[in-house]
Structure 1
Amino acid sequence: MTLVVGVIVLALLLLLATCGGKGATKAKAGPPVPQATGERVVRAPRLSVPAAYDTSRGWDIRDVSPEYAVAEATNRIAYLERAGTDRFRLRTLNPATGEHGWEGPPARPLSSGDRFPRLLSVAKDGQEYFVTWSYGKLDAQGLRAAESLVSLDVYDAASGSVKRVEVPWTDAPVVSADGPGILISDGKATSAVVDPETGDVVKVPPGALGYPKKCPACRKLTQVRAMTDKGLLVNGARGFWVRGGWYSGKTAPKDADPASGIPASVAGGYVLAKWQKKKSAKDVRTHELWALHDVATGKAVTQVRCRKPVIKPVDEPRLVTSPGGHFLIAGRLAFDIEEKKAYCFEEEDGTDPLILTTVSDDGTAYGAISVRGPADALAGGGTPVRVDMTNAAPAPMAATVRLPSAETMNVGLFRWTDAKDRPHLIGYPHRSEEE
């Protein structure tokens, strides 16, 4: 009996010691890294979409944020969902399988509690990150005095580990992630760059923008536009440049006025820029040039001539790349990188421009005719069309066809709002070649 009691007491002591050890280990390790849930999302309803997509094998998530982000190499898309009255949670999904991955902890944004935080993705040195951000003031009752901040949560797209970065900021910010860093600007000459890997913040004052020596007008109307692999992309009144790198006045495309370049957007290692034609050109009053520039050298890879719009648009067209980067689109513009071809889809007199929304690696693009912009086309406006980039021939589709808002991992992503006014994000895979 004495031997049995001793064994039991020894076992209890070992159990207590083991439990205490595990508790100490967790305390040192900090919060656990989010784990994949393995949950599979529900099957999607069968919407009217282009014939290339298989609506019988789709997935559907509802009550999602207006924005989502894609990490192509990590096989993840990220979106936000509500986690209470004033908190939100980032969730991930493998679009190829329809299975959920890791999910982040609930977080409260600095902005109004009923508004989703903003969401974007960024990549540096082969590592992908998801970033949620908001702008506002800290609680005046907190440990620090109330001040305006840009608050960013930077998630490792593969593991879900997260770091919080807070940057004091006075004016309403413009936040983007076109290059290897997260760029915060005031829409003018003041900016800061956040390293997604370390969380380090480097503020760049207006006097450190590396203005080109032969462009005094570049010091006027200065705007920091994007972060590139080679440095900040900046533009002034009569040119644009990469700080410490090239200047547009020396890399202007053929037939363009060298002092007229305006950068529109950056994606896939390229800068899309608009140029005025030389004053000696016969069509200088009616047409302009759009060129795709290599972000590393500033060299114009390809260019196309387009009609000047009767009414100047509020926003310049944004570049969208196919998943593999072979094709790029931007509004009525399309580019084939390997063939060095460029297209402007409009009638000869500039009417009925075709606004493109999505392009896949096989060169199939989708868009709509007679719409104000991509948002109008995705909302069902105009006449939907399919474009084969190998021959640049648009083909009309049925008026009920819904356009994909993005392509990733051979899956088309579609926005839809149901009868109960609930927003959905739906994924339909491409049909196999045998179908």
Structure 2
Amino acid sequence: MKKFQSVVLAAAVMAALGACGSSQKNSAPQPRDGIPSATGEPASSAHRAEQAKVPPAFDGSKGWAVVQAERLTQPTVAPHSQLVLFRKAYEDGTAFGVEARDATTGAVRWSSAPWKPSERTADFQEDDVKLFVTSKDGKDYAVLVAALQEGKDAISRGTSIAKASVFAADSSGKDVAPARQVSIPGAGSSARPHDANGTLAFGNDKEVTLVDVTTGVLAAPQDSRSRDYLLRITGSVNGTFQLTDAWPGQAIVPAGAQESSGIESGTSHGVRGGYVVAQWPSKDEAHSALGLPMNYVWALHDESRGNPVYALPCNGLNESAVGSENQAVLSDNGRYLVTAYTAFDLQAKKGYCFGGTQETARVDFVGVDNAGTAYGKARTPSGTGIPVSVDIATGSHAELSGVTLPTRVSGDVALYESAPQNDKDPAADLAHHAVLSVYPKR
């Protein structure tokens, strides 16, 4: 076991919503909870997942699965409700719903009534119906969003509009009706949810509209370069957005970072629980033999005011690039945060840098559970990566030999997604093919 650099943070943070690999085919379908199974038989329980080599904290023999024939897609975690939500497709893709499963057992907790975005099937496509989760005051909301081109025909392109159907994640029973429905003029289905204030941001080339799903109220449209929207889509836009532009005139440069206002002066890598996670070039500037920056400062900024709440220096790096796959992820209980190669214990006010140096391999994190165990891959010269776990409370790590990392870790479960089979292939066994397998903690 080995400890890495730790830093005392300035304050604790309130946060929510954990973030997102392969799975095995599951065994023959089991009936589940009163919902018809893939075979059409009465249902009483979730499908059983095949035994899998999962991280030791989870039980690879007690998982549940969703099979392709159930037409449940877009698994989305409701962090406060301990549910996994799915978009369900009905009637050849003309109606949709939400199905909520207990994250630990896979039991169906509730299912919505079928929802048709429009009576005219020409107005939308199945792929343009998305499922999102947003939260406020510890309550989760499931939101089905459909992008429509109303009035579209062979000649007319139609009028762009998004329609949203909102459900409380703590619902119960079957055929649950939406709490409210909202129409957003000019918007598509690529909404950006906020994990703590109950809003979705809908943007196009010209403007952004914020929707409060708890009330259905639409805020006045903002310019498409509004701070809120640009921070939500993570990172720079067209190479021009900088954190120094987000809060003009505010002192937002964290301790140890450069004061420069150049394009490299701070990049957002996610908004979580009211905080912006950002990477800054260090004031203690240094470069490798190849001319690459070696020193950075990672900081969490108050989302509203921009002031840095705490910062973590990462020095001596030999590879510091951060891609779109390196997203900020919070544990469901809001205590632990990982992003790219950094990990934070927000309650203990400690942070750790796992960037690659001459002495250590870089770890790219993919998730963290409520106990503070983070999971990721240690980079190898070949680029394949070795699965590892890190105890954020201590900074110590362990190699996970033979383990397949989860697609995501949420609360006390590990989720494994796999690609659907081609349903036009005569050999495809859709009734047995698991598109999601979920394994609980031991």
- Per the TM superposition, whether the score is higher than 0.5 is yes
Between the aligned partners of 1:99 and 1:176, the Cα distance in structure 2 is 26
Correspondence for 1:428:
439
Count of equivalent residues? 364
Contact 1:358 1:406 in 2 (8 A): yes
- Per mean C-alpha deviation after superposition, the further-off stretch among 98-107 and 323-332 is 98-107
The offset of 1:282, in angstroms, is 4.2
Partner amino acid, structure 2, of 1:191: V
Deviation at 1:44, TM superposition (A): 1.7
Partners in 1 of 2:158 and 2:111 — Cα distance? 30
Matched residue SS, 1:225: helix
For the residues of structure 2 that align with 1:207 and 1:315, how far apart are their CA atoms? 21
Question: 2:208 maps to what in 1?
Answer: 191
Question: Counting helix residues as a fraction of each chain, which structure ranks higher?
Answer: 1
Structure 2 partner of 1:363: 372
Residue 412 of structure 2 corresponds to: 410
Q: Which is higher, the Rg of structure 1 or of structure 2? A: 1
Query: Which residue of 1 is the match for residue 149 of structure 2?
Result: 137
Aligned to 1:117: 129
Q: Per the alignment, do residues 420 and 356 of structure 1 end up closer, same or farther by CA in structure 2, a change over 3 Å counting?
A: farther
Take 1:300 and 1:191, find their aligned partners in 2: how far apart are those partners? Answer: 27
Pairwise mapping of residues 277-288 of structure 1 onto structure 2 (< 5 A)?
A: 277-278=282-283, 281-282=285-286, 285-288=293-296
Q: What displacement does 1:156 show?
A: 1.4
Q: Is the aligned partner of 1:347 residue 2:349?
A: no
Question: What is the DSSP-based 3-state SS (H/G/I as helix, E as strand, rest coil) of the residue aligned with 2:213?
Answer: coil
Cα distance in structure 2, aligned partners of 1:132 and 1:303 = 38
Contact 1:190 1:224 in 2 (8 A): no
**CA RMSD, Structure 1 to Structure 2 (Å):** 3.7
Q: For the residues of structure 2 that align with 1:429 and 1:203, how far apart are their CA atoms? A: 43
Q: Are the counterparts in 1 of residues 368 and 374 from structure 2 also a CA contact under 8 Å? A: yes
Local SS of the residue matching 1:149: strand
Question: Could you say which residue in structure 2 is the equivalent of 1:394?
Answer: 397
Between the two proteins, what is the percent identity of the paired residues? 24
Distance (Å, rounded) in 2 between the aligned partners of 1:318 and 1:208: 21
Given the superposition, is the C-alpha separation of residues 314 and 147 from structure 1 closer, same or farther in structure 2, using an over 3 Å criterion?
farther
Q: Is the 8 A contact 2:208 2:224 kept in 1?
A: no
Distance 1:396 1:318, change over 3 A: same
Residues 1:223 and 1:324: Cα distance change in structure 2 (over 3 Å): closer
Separation in 2 of the partners of 1:205 and 1:290? Answer: 29
Q: Which among 314, 326, 334 is matched to residue 317 of structure 1?
A: 326
- What does 1:131-280 correspond to in 2, within 5 Å? 131-140=143-152, 146-159=158-171, 160-162=176-178, 163-169=180-186, 173-180=190-197, 181-186=199-204, 190-206=207-223, 224-226=230-232, 237-240=241-244, 249-258=250-259, 259=261, 260-278=265-283
1:354–1:367 contact (8 Å) kept in structure 2 = yes
The structure showing larger relative contact order (alpha-carbon pairs under 8 Å, at least 6 residues apart) is 2
Question: CA offsets per residue over residues 130-163 of structure 1, 9 Å max, x none?
Answer: 112232312447xx99301122221111224413
**Equivalent in the alignment of 1:42:** 47
In the alignment, residue 255 of structure 1 is paired with which amino acid? Answer: G
CA gap 1:39/1:197 in 2 versus in 1, 3 angstroms: farther
Q: Deviations over 1:18-75 (max 9, x none)?
A: xxxxxxxxxxxxxxxxx99694212221111112112333211122555322223333
| Structure 2 unaligned residues grouped into runs of 5+ | 1-32, 36-42, 234-238, 422-427
Cα displacement (A) at 1:104: 1.6
Structure 1 contact 154–164 (Cα < 8 Å) conserved? yes
Q: Distance in 1 between matches of 2:300 and 2:183?
A: 35
Deviation by residue 1:291-335 (Cα, 9 ceiling, x = unmatched): 122435533323232567769555273211112111101122211
The Cα shift of 1:388 comes to 1.8
User: Contact 1:294–1:301 at 8 Å: present in 2 too?
Assistant: no
1:261-281 CA deviation, whole Å, 9 max, x = no partner? 222201133210121223x63
